[in-house]
Amino acid sequence: MSERENKTENGSMESVGEGTAGEEKDDKGLGLGVIFFIVAFVACFLSGTLLFPKLLYSKKEQPFNFDHALHVGEAGDCETCHSFREDGSFTGIPKLATCLDCHSEEVLGETEDEAVFVEEYVLEEKEVPWYVYSRQPDNVFFSHAAHTQTAGMDCVTCHGHIGESTSLKPYEENRITGYSRDIWGKNIFGIKKNSWDRMKMDDCAACHKEETGHKGYCFQCHK
Amino acid sequence: MKQNNNKAHKFGMVIDLDKCTGCGSCMVSCMSENNVPFKEDESNKKDSITWMRVYKLTNGKSFPDTEIAYLPRPCQHCGGKGDHGHSPCVSVCPAVATDYGYDTGIVSQIYTRCFGCRYCMGACPYHARYFNWWDPKWPEGMENYLSPDVSPRMRGVVEKCSFCYHRYQAAKDTAYYEGRDDIEEHEYQTACATACPAGAIVFGDLNNPAHQVHQIVKPDPHPDPRNKHIVGKSRNPKVFRLLERLGTNPKVYYLSEREWVRKQGDNYLDGEWDKIKNYHGASSHD
């Protein structure tokens, strides 16, 4: 951002400089032009950074709130609910049956959300239609076992501190691709501060390059 | 970090043409395993998509000497000249939509990366690649039967046999979970190999002497002295590869006791076959 602004400032300085060399009449028109350019640039820039993400992503609320911190406190760790199957594949978001290992038709806590969960899903025997923030496109294969079991990585490295959160953020869906915003990342410029800020192919490749010396062949992660 | 440091595999296949009855089970299992789309009217075979295709061979003689053989043809997963990974299709792809996996020897195809120029189809000497002229249309309810492990393709991209790579991914997943370094031979088998009722298709790692495919093919570790571009020629005189002299180094081998069948693996000038038929397949080494 600052780079671009510097450029326009330099640009306007040059043109002002050229203007003073000529007659004074031209100077006024040129000054107005410069002002117009700056105003238009700022308007475009602001609409691009503030309005565009709102246009690009639609917000969807989860069926009801889920308190990760509370559940981690009760269950102990991530793997209790987000477990592996016997064949090494990853279950991802737990099914209702997993919830019912602890929950029953009786409400355990005091929150409204649990009442919704029991009434609308447990009693109806319906799966909760969670939106998955980290859902990758259809053609991506990802082995959780390779990363957490073999390479010993933490969940946090890719998923961030979701285990410490008390509420679920709204799910933002890209209107063009249908993918979750967490794939591109919150920052519209794609600027990344933490390892869990983005989940693009480049992020996988960069880490693979660093850790294994090779970013991998296409079929390693595609199907 | 411990991963990707295993010895390179070289997955390959040997198909016994004397066992093959031409039943087509491999074609059917392949289509259902890999979500291969079909048309409402499949009578026009020119634009049908068949990752695995069974060809009919005949010795061209009239009754009572007529003989028939069937030749199943998946993607040959060529290693290219000198087996360096420069497969005909990989070399021409301008989008890097297909690449050679040096860890498995499998030629990939990434549908979302492909933009449908079809250079690879022109380059492939085995007609193993197919173009999607339409978006797939599944009869109502059939979408529920698609495999979630294979991504479906869209109109305008090329597709081909992947040696059921998703089964390799699944087998590796299990191995990682169980803390094993590598997978077993039986854990990774292609759909066609498991479906063949005659047991004509044998699949495994050509680099692993314990695997059945290696024991049948006995791949020559040295380049062919007559043509240094040809690597991995079979030391079994009954085994041949399709268009072997091109130097594409396919990883699909064919086995037949019948000489006329072996002769169909390439085009020969008059009298040429007789000069090389004994050499063909066998190496001058050992």
Predicted confidence pLDDT, tens digits, chain A (223 residues): 444 444 444 444 444 444 444 455 567 788 899 999 999 999 999 998 889 888 999 999 999 999 999 999 988 899 999 999 999 999 999 999 999 988 888 877 788 899 899 989 999 999 999 999 999 999 999 999 999 999 999 999 999 999 999 999 999 999 999 999 999 998 888 888 999 999 999 999 999 999 999 988 999 999 9
Distance from CA of B154 to the nearest CA of A (A): 12
The tens digit of pLDDT for each residue in B86-102 reads 999 999 999 999 999 99
A150 vs chain B: nearest CA distance in angstroms? 6
CA distance, residue A89 to nearest chain B CA (Å)? 6
Q: Which two tokens stand for residue B105?
A: 């020897």
- The values of phi and psi at residue A127, to 5°, are -70, 145
Compute the average pLDDT of residues B24-44: 93
Arithmetic mean of pLDDT over chain B: 91
On whether residue A121 sits in a domain, the answer given is no
Residue A52 lies in a domain: yes
Residue A113 is assigned to a structural domain of this protein:
no
Domain extent listing, chain B: 11-39+48-270
Contact criterion met (CB < 8 Å) for B172 and A146: yes
Predicted complex ipTM? 0.83
The pair of structure tokens assigned to A25 is: 């009449």
CB contact under 8 A, B170 and A219: no
Interface contact A149-B149, CB threshold 8 A = no
What confidence category does residue B283 fall into, taking pLDDT thresholds of 50, 70 and 90? Answer: very low
Residue A12 resides in a domain = yes
A143 located within any domain: yes
- The residue among A58, A73, A103 that closes a domain is A58
Contact B166 A87 (CB under 8 A): no
Contact B179 A152 (CB under 8 A): no
Q: Give how many domains chain A has, as a whole number.
A: 2
Chain A: nearest CA to B107, how far in angstroms?
Answer: 9
How many CB atoms within 10 Å of residue B228? 12
Average pLDDT over residues B128-149: 93
CATH classification for the domain delimited by B11-39+48-270, as one of 3.30.450.20, 3.90.950.10, 3.80.10.10, 3.30.70.20: 3.30.70.20
Indicate whether A161 belongs to any domain.
Answer: yes
Residue A178 lies in a domain: yes
Q: What was the pLDDT predicted at B280?
A: 58
Is the Cβ–Cβ distance between B191 and B164 less than 8 Å?
yes
> By mean pLDDT, which of A23-37, B147-161, B177-191 is the weakest?
A23-37
A88 touches chain B (CB under 8 A): yes
Interface contact B166, partner A, CB < 8 A: yes
What per-residue confidence (pLDDT) applies to A28? 74
Cβ neighbour number for residue B68 with a 10 Å cutoff? 10
Terminal-to-terminal C-alpha distance of chain B: 42
Residue A92, domain member (yes or no): no
Tell whether the model's pLDDT for residue B2 goes beyond 80: no
Chain A CB contacts of B177 below 8 Å: 84, 87-88, 145, 149
Residue A39: give the domain boundaries.
2-58
Among A12, A28, A58, the domain-final residue is: A58
Helix axes A2-21, A24-46, angle to 10 degrees: 170
pLDDT tens sequence across B213-230: 999 999 998 998 888 999
